[in-house]
Amino acid sequence: MSASHSLDRNDLLAEKRSAFDIPEGVIYLDGNSLGVLPGHVPARLAEVVAGEWGTSLIRAWNDHGWIDLPGRTGDRIARLIGAPKGSVVACDSTSVNVFKVLAAALSLRPDRKVILSDTGNFPTDLYVASGLKTLLDKGHELKVVAPEEVHDAIDETVAVLMLTQVDYRSGRLHDMADLTAVAHGAGALTVWDLAHSAGALPVDLAGAKADFAVGCGYKYLNGGPGAPAFLYVAPQHQERVTSPLTGWMGHAAPFAFDLDYRPETGIGRMTAGTPPVLSLSGLHAALDVFEDVDMADIRTKSISLSEFFIAEVEARCPQLELASPRDPNRRGSQVSFRFKEGYSVMQALISRGVIGDFRAPDIMRFGFTPLYLSHQDVADAVAILAEILETESWNRPEYRKRSKVT
Amino acid sequence: MSASHSLDRNDLLAEKRSAFDIPEGVIYLDGNSLGVLPGHVPARLAEVVAGEWGTSLIRAWNDHGWIDLPGRTGDRIARLIGAPKGSVVACDSTSVNVFKVLAAALSLRPDRKVILSDTGNFPTDLYVASGLKTLLDKGHELKVVAPEEVHDAIDETVAVLMLTQVDYRSGRLHDMADLTAVAHGAGALTVWDLAHSAGALPVDLAGAKADFAVGCGYKYLNGGPGAPAFLYVAPQHQERVTSPLTGWMGHAAPFAFDLDYRPETGIGRMTAGTPPVLSLSGLHAALDVFEDVDMADIRTKSISLSEFFIAEVEARCPQLELASPRDPNRRGSQVSFRFKEGYSVMQALISRGVIGDFRAPDIMRFGFTPLYLSHQDVADAVAILAEILETESWNRPEYRKRSKVT
């Protein structure tokens, strides 16, 4: 029996694969960019479009609970990230949510000026922080250090420590509980971006005493392209902050149409405008798949898949150099390898149905989504990768151009 | 021949009705809150879900043009609001877009402190302005006057005149060209909210020399519940402003993953995070219906419908008092009437299939969407309204409770 076969026999999540529509001939190692389509979602969305919008029209806000959809979706996500009910809401994009929670966090530390982050943060978080700093014009400093320097850079000048838990390129995993404790010890607050964590590994926001968090709906949560993001505010901060984006959906009584803003009690105050109901319904429905899943099982399988992948690549593709931490406890659910011609190799892989992605200058990135990948998929993907590297088929002209989105 | 029959015979847009799925037994006079479902949209959305997301997965960003969808959708809206190509983008919610363009406008008038608006503005615009003022903490004043006082309140203290063109309650229409000229004469800039204008009447942003505008995708544009909103920046301002929400989609090279923000050239810099592709695709598809429509024909029919409605109501329902301007040139595409028991009457109407809405304390609001309403619909709606008022059937207990969303 092959190694992959034996590993797949012990896979507690094996039957979850049938919950997804995976295109024929595709081994999808990019669920960390855009999750695949859960099989029941098309019918559910068709019902939202024709049944709810088309038939109930404006009455659907009440009759089909659209008005509570951001909170109901947030509560489903809360369970996956160790957050209490009523502390998470699904709304807007991750970028917009970073703006909201960072502004809220800074408002609680008016005498401090440093936003501390690292070079492993997803760029949009840094852009948003920089834009907010410019807008506020109060002398804030955005201090960006190397990931391994974060711990020592936390001091009493820091207002907010803002980090993405899993590095989008290398998969390096920050210790949320430890860094949050250090930040709190220095009197700072924390904003955690869970874009590559939520649905990929167990997160314990409450246990780690995280203050604020944001995350993405369309990666490991499989909510569909551009699905609304989510945000978390720790219960003890909820009544002490307001959103800087004071839209009507965050008003205590949006349909009273008062001229003055009065924030809703609780997490709802962090919403802004009318939610994109179709996209949000897709995310809400996609979360069905997680209902009976234990995040510990996800983590076990994630590590099994990624360890198997590293072993196979290192055995069969000696040209590649591991760019992720070797210790699985220090990685998220993705593995990256460096190769000078990584761009072309990735294009050749994609043309053979093995979909990963590439990040300049030389990172080939592979995401492992335990709900719909098997060890056999991993073995097959590495076999194709080895074949491409051996034959230099990646060296063909068609693989050497860069498309707009890589 | 009845009056409605004769009016419908001259309706240039009559055949457009067949482009929409209107539920059996419903006369929908609330397209100003949520437009009805265009008949081709369910199939198009099913294709986006199963074909684009489900099959192309991450490759769909290039292969199906998701990356350009905000701009392509914006260009379709541009034609309807008198804006040049490349000056409109579809993204985020109206509330978030108000924040962006208001912050951008204020950045061009750093020495002025007054944001001038009126009590007819949709509340979320005022909430957002108030939130931005608090965030900036630079002594801005949000000055809110009565709609008829706006003209005289414009002076050289005003940084930005921020108005909704059509009052959401009364339908009162501001003269955009005139007020913009007065604002410019005083050195102020303008932000126009076209929530109840776009798709409802001809708008000429370029002709009026408007500086910034925002608007809603789910009302007269029929983009679906919570469809993304849009925003406009006049070409001469585009390179002089940046969005305060500097997300990666507004970056000149989002997939270069630079650590520093560099705004895209043109209107794209006003986008923030990843767009909700399903909801945005719904809006893009819904705009097909407008492709061969002349906004002048929409206006002609809109006035015909609303004039006929007012005449019928005043003839048959003397209890009601017109709450909209009598001059159709001073109205948008909606008509409101006051009635002390308006809430209960509206509930009774809705239970009979005539869907309008109610705004406290006593406004019954009826929207006229020329693409899918006939004069016969208007006649039938008024007949039912008259019947309800005559029999006092609205006085039943079930019509006297208030639901969460009215």
CB contact under 8 A, A58 and B275: no
Distance CA A150, CA B111 (A): 40
Distance CA B164, CA A352 (A): 53
CB contact under 8 A, B355 and A243: no
Catalytic residue numbers of A, as ranges: 122, 193, 218-219, 365
Both A154 and A238 in one domain: the answer is yes
* CATH number where B20 lies: 3.90.1150.10
Cα of A1 to nearest chain B Cα, Å:
32
Whether B320 shows a pLDDT value over 70: the answer reads yes
Whether A110 shows a pLDDT value over 90: the answer reads yes
Check residue B148 and give its pLDDT: 97
Give Cα separations from B18 to A51, B36, B39, B281 (angstroms).
18, 12, 8, 21
Residues of A with Cβ-Cβ distance to B227 under 8 angstroms: 276, 278
CB contact under 8 A, B54 and A42: yes
Residues of B with Cβ-Cβ distance to A46 under 8 angstroms: 42, 45-46
Q: How far is CA A17 from the centre of its chain?
A: 20
Are A35 and A395 spatial neighbours (Cβ–Cβ below 8 Å)? no
Residues of B with Cβ-Cβ distance to A251 under 8 angstroms: 123, 127
Backbone angles phi, psi at B337, to 5 degrees: -125, 145
Out of A37, A122, A255, closest to residue B53 by CB? A37
Both B280 and B312 in one domain: the answer is no
Cα of B311 to nearest chain A Cα, Å:
26
Average pLDDT, chain A: 96
Domain boundary (B290, B320, B337) is at B290
Mutation choice for B interface testing from A41, A133, A135 by most B CBs within 10 A: A135
Whether B406 shows a pLDDT value over 70: the answer reads no
Residues of A with Cβ-Cβ distance to B242 under 8 angstroms: 131
Find the residue in B nearest to A246 (Cα): B128
Both A301 and A282 in one domain: the answer is no
Tell me the average pLDDT across A334-344.
97
CB contact under 8 A, A279 and B277: yes
Report percent pLDDT > 90 for chain A.
Answer: 94
B365 annotated active-site: yes
Tell me the average pLDDT across B66-87.
98
Check residue A393 and give its pLDDT: 87
Beta-bridge partner residues of B88? B232
Residues of B with Cβ-Cβ distance to A257 under 8 angstroms: 123, 359-360
Find the residue in B nearest to A104 (Cα): B135
- The DSSP annotation for B292-328 comes to T--HHHHHHHHHHHHHHHHHHHHHH-TT-EE-S-SSG
Cα of A20 to nearest chain B Cα, Å:
9
CB contact under 8 A, B405 and A61: yes
Check residue A397 and give its pLDDT: 86
Tell me the average pLDDT across A377-383.
98
B193 annotated active-site: yes
Closest CA to B332 of B342, B343, B340, B324: B324
Check residue A400 and give its pLDDT: 78
Amino acid at A86: G
Both B104 and B184 in one domain: the answer is yes
Whether B182 shows a pLDDT value over 90: the answer reads yes
Both A49 and A158 in one domain: the answer is yes
CB contact under 8 A, A50 and B103: no
Out of B132, B246, B280, closest to residue A128 by CB? B246
Assigned domain for B219 exists: yes
* CATH number where B272 lies: 3.40.640.10
Both B203 and B176 in one domain: the answer is yes
Q: Which domain holds residue A385?
A: 3-30+294-399
Distance CA B394, CA B399 (A): 6
Tell me the average pLDDT across B121-132.
97
Distance CA B65, CA B376 (A): 42
Assigned domain for A365 exists: yes
Both B201 and B147 in one domain: the answer is yes
Tell me the average pLDDT across B116-132.
97
Both B325 and B340 in one domain: the answer is yes
Assigned domain for A122 exists: yes
Residue A306: exposure state from Cβ atoms within 10 A (0-12, 13-18, ≥19): buried
CB contact under 8 A, A405 and B355: no
Both B100 and B177 in one domain: the answer is yes
Out of A34, A46, A59, closest to residue B58 by CB? A34
Check residue B212 and give its pLDDT: 98
Amino acid at B398: E
Residues of A with Cβ-Cβ distance to B405 under 8 angstroms: 61-62, 67, 255
Domain count, chain A: 2
Domain boundary (B290, B321, B347) is at B290
Whether A405 shows a pLDDT value over 50: the answer reads no
Both B303 and B269 in one domain: the answer is no
Assigned domain for A37 exists: no
Rounded (5°) CA angle B305-B311-B314: 135
Both A161 and A299 in one domain: the answer is no
Interface confidence (ipTM) of the complex = 0.97
Find the residue in B nearest to A119 (Cα): B259
pTM attached to this predicted model: 0.97
Distance CA A377, CA A54 (A): 41
When pLDDT is cut at 50, 70 and 90, the band that residue A406 belongs to is: very low
Both A258 and A148 in one domain: the answer is yes
When pLDDT is cut at 50, 70 and 90, the band that residue B405 belongs to is: very low
Question: b vs e for A276-292, b when ≥16 Cβ sit within 10 Å of the residue's Cβ?
Answer: bbbbbbbbbbbbebbee
Assigned domain for A36 exists: no
CB contact under 8 A, B59 and A355: yes
Residues of B with Cβ-Cβ distance to A276 under 8 angstroms: 93, 225-228, 276, 278-280
Residues of B with Cβ-Cβ distance to A110 under 8 angstroms: none
Q: Could you tell me how many CB contacts below 8 A there are between chain A and chain B?
A: 285
B218 annotated active-site: yes
Tell me the average pLDDT across A353-374.
96
Tokens of A57: 């029209």
When pLDDT is cut at 50, 70 and 90, the band that residue A94 belongs to is: very high
- The residue written with tokens 């093995």 in the block is A354
Mutation choice for B interface testing from A62, A96, A127, A357 by most B CBs within 10 A: A127
Tell me the average pLDDT across A170-175.
97
